[in-house]
Structure 1
C-alpha cells in the first residue's frame, strides 16, 4: 500500500514537469553515465527504451553506445578530414565498442501457486543492432519504442542464444531454453535501470511489475552466470526521496549508483 501511494505521488509530481526540464535533466543524467568508467569499459550493456515523458530519457545513451560499433567515424579538422575505424576511435576515447541490449516483455505460464493469474510477463534483454534499427522502431501505447515482434526470435539474447530465454514445456509450465555448449559471450557488464523513485542509499522503487528484479534474480541470483552487471540507476531530481521512505523486500535489488538530473551521483 505504501508503494502504491508513493507511485501515485510520483506520477502526480512528474506530470507537472515541463518538456524543457525533462530534456535538460535527462541530458545531465545521461552525461554522468557517459563519463563514468563503468560505462566506458563496458562492452555489453542493457538500456531501457524510455517513455517520451515522466522519466529520464535514454536516447543519448543508446545513440552513443550504438555509435561505438559503427564501421567508420569521420572527424573534421582544420587541415583534413580523418576517417577512423570504430576500434581506433574506441582506443582514442577510452570508450570500448559496445553491444546494446534492450528490454523485451513477453508472457509465459505462471508457476506461482499463490497467484491466480494463468500467465505472467517476463523480461529478456535482446540486442538492438544499429542506429537505423533504433530510429525505425515503432512505439507502443505509452510512446515507448519497441522491438519488432516478428523478428525477436532472430535477436541475440544477452544471456546467450537467440530469442526468448523461457519456453513452454508442453505441459503448461516453463523451462529455460537450452543453450549451445560453445556459445559466444553472454551476460551484461552494465544495465541502465529505470525507476519510479530512488533514495541516496541506492534503494529502488520500480513500476510494480517486477521485471528487473525477476530478470536479475533469474540470471544473476546466487552467482549465476558469473559477475553481476553494474546496475546504474538514472532518474530526475524529483524522483529522489528521503532515506527510509522506500521499503525494500528481500527480492528487491539495489542499484550500484544513481545518475540524477540535478548533476549528482
Structure 2
C-alpha cells in the first residue's frame, strides 16, 4: 500500500514537472500578481497577524516576493521556512525537519542569500536570534509560538469528491511533518492553546490545479492533510467545503 502510494505520487510529480516546464515566466509572473491582488483583500489574510509564507523558487511556482513585502509593510509577523538537522530522538524521525522562523523586516528579507535552487534562505548563524514556531533544545522558545495563516507551495492540487482541497508536495515531507508536530499541540476542541486554528491555503498556478474530468488525482496518504482552500493564478479563491484538516 505504502509503495503504491509513493509510486503514484512520484508519477504525478514527473507529469507536473513536464507540464510546468512549459509555463512561461511571463505567465508565472502574471498569475502570481493576480494571486497577490486577490490575497490582499482576502479576510483570512487581512485578519492574520502571524503568517507563514514560503520563499519561492525562481520558476515553476507562484512567486511570493510581493506577498512577503506587503505582509511585512502591513506590520504582520512573517515566518519563513528553515530546514535543519532534526533534534528529535525517536524512531523513524527524519534526518532534517522544517521550522518557521521570524523575518524581522524588509531589510532582513532583502539580506537573505540565495541557495543552490535560487531560493532566499535563512542563514543558520542567525537562527538563535530569531523567534521560531516549534523551537528546539538549541534555541530560546517564545511563549508566543502560534500561526494564524500558512500559505503553502505544492506541485499539484485538486478537490476531492467532498470538496476538500488537496496538495501534493515535493516529496520530502517537510510541511506534513511540521504540521503534524504543530497540530499535536492543539487541544481536543480544535483550537490551538493560544488562539484559533491555523488556516492552510495553497497558492497554485492554474496549470497546477487538476480537474476531475482529466482523471488526474492527488494521491493522499494517512499523514497527508487537506487544505482550507486554494488561491489560484486566475485570481479566484476556492474554499474547501469541509473546513476540517
Q: TM-score, normalised by structure 2?
A: 0.82
Shift of 1:260: 0.7
In the other structure, the counterpart of 1:104 is 82
| Equivalent pair of 2:152/2:203 in contact (CA under 8 Å) | yes
20, 34, 41: which one pairs with 1:28?
34
Shift of 1:219: 1.1
Deviation readout 1:103-155 (Å, 9 max, x if unpaired) = 0000126756468xxx6110110001111111121100100000122111111
Is 1:231 aligned to 2:203, yes or no? no
Match of 2:80, SS?
Answer: strand
Match of 1:199, SS?
Answer: strand
- Taking the aligned partners of 1:106 and 1:184, their CA distance within structure 2 comes to 21
In the other structure, the counterpart of 2:169 is 206
| Equivalent pair of 1:192/1:232 in contact (CA under 8 Å) | yes
In the other structure, the counterpart of 2:224 is 252
| Equivalent pair of 2:86/2:95 in contact (CA under 8 Å) | yes
- Count of matched residue positions in the alignment of Structure 1 and Structure 2: 218
152, 156, 162: which one pairs with 2:131?
156
Match of 2:86, SS?
Answer: strand
Q: TM-score, normalised by structure 1?
A: 0.76
Shift of 1:19: 1.1
Larger Rg: 1
Shift of 1:101: 0.4
| Equivalent pair of 1:14/1:238 in contact (CA under 8 Å) | yes
| Equivalent pair of 1:30/1:259 in contact (CA under 8 Å) | no
137, 145, 163: which one pairs with 2:112?
137
Shift of 1:158: 2.7
In the other structure, the counterpart of 1:216 is 179
- Taking the aligned partners of 1:238 and 1:133, their CA distance within structure 2 comes to 33
Structure 1 unmatched runs, 5+: 70-97, 160-164, 169-176
In the superposition, relative to structure 1, how do residues 125 and 109 fare at CA in structure 2: closer, same or farther (>3 Å)? closer
Structure 2 unmatched runs, 5+: 1-6, 238-245
| Equivalent pair of 1:108/1:167 in contact (CA under 8 Å) | no
Is 1:196 aligned to 2:165, yes or no? no
Match of 2:227, SS?
Answer: coil
In the other structure, the counterpart of 1:122 is 97
Shift of 1:29: 1.5
- Taking the aligned partners of 2:210 and 2:231, their CA distance within structure 1 comes to 14
Tell me the C-alpha RMSD between the 2 structures: 2.1
- Taking the aligned partners of 2:114 and 2:185, their CA distance within structure 1 comes to 36
In the superposition, relative to structure 1, how do residues 158 and 110 fare at CA in structure 2: closer, same or farther (>3 Å)? closer
